[in-house]
Structure 1
Amino acid sequence: MNAPLRLFACSSLGASARGVLGCVAVAVLAAGCAGNPFAEAKVDANSAVADDVARMAHESRSFPTFDQIPASPPSSRPVAAWGQAADQLEVAAAKVERNTAPNTWTLSGTERFVTRARSQAGPDIGVEASTTPSSEAFAKELRERATPPPPPR
């Protein structure tokens, strides 16, 4: 492959192309500022809320100022206590991660758990219970009634 390098060279935009691209970008940005879509929006006169929208749009309201915001109640937690609670939470999380890390625990002393679970499950069902003549007869009947699927075409 002896292709000429000019086929793979990256050519940058010329000055005129950059100027055109800049003008287009400025025109698009300026077009976005033309007009207020909310002022020009019309409300359907048949709508159930048309009267309320018209009334509220032209109604002048007084908005609260920052000095009208009530003070914090005295029973609220101080800022330093929030940080201390966050620190305690991080310490507890680190302790849980440390105690549950891989190779930090083993399963031992499970005999008591096994005996309790078996006593709650009921009487021990051995292998001989599943080989009774009635279950074998039932299985034989099901095998005889079963029909194989049709052969593929």
Structure 2
Amino acid sequence: MASPDTEELATVPLPTPRPDDRTTPHQVITDPAAPSPDAPTEAAAPTETGEQADATSPEAVEQVEPAKPAKPRGRWWRGFTGSLAAGLTVLAVGVLVVAGVCLYTDAPGPGPVLLIGHPIAAVLALLAQRVADRRNGLPAAGAGIAVVLFVVSALTLFWLT
């Protein structure tokens, strides 16, 4: 008996795809106010029981197109303040990691003000960003401004002094 490596494998043709019974071809409607060619004009289509429904009955009324959701506003502002809050959080974690390495190697490292201030500023910025993400209007704008102020104050107090 030959091994599978030396035998030639037979190829099996793939079945041809059949159209799905549940799908129907799309109909392009150029004017939503114009009736479709399949829609009944004055008389409504017969219901399941075989009787005619009037044109105002729920069975005869079709939804033409769903209402479009409103465009979200302030997406760039929320993205910007979210990036600032995430950056401040990464910076706070970095300061804590450097402090741990310095503690392990007996090297001078960041002082207690940096070790306490950075995580507090990061937590405050993340909380303000959460408010900015979940609210709309003036509360969202105020929370975004608070994120910017937390980031600027942390960088000014801890890195420029």
Q: Do both share a fold (TM > 0.5)?
A: no
**TM-score, normalisation: structure 1:** 0.28
Instruction: State the structure with bigger RCO (CA 8 A, min sep 6), 1 or 2.
Output: 2
Q: Which has the larger radius of gyration?
A: 1
Larger relative helix fraction: 1
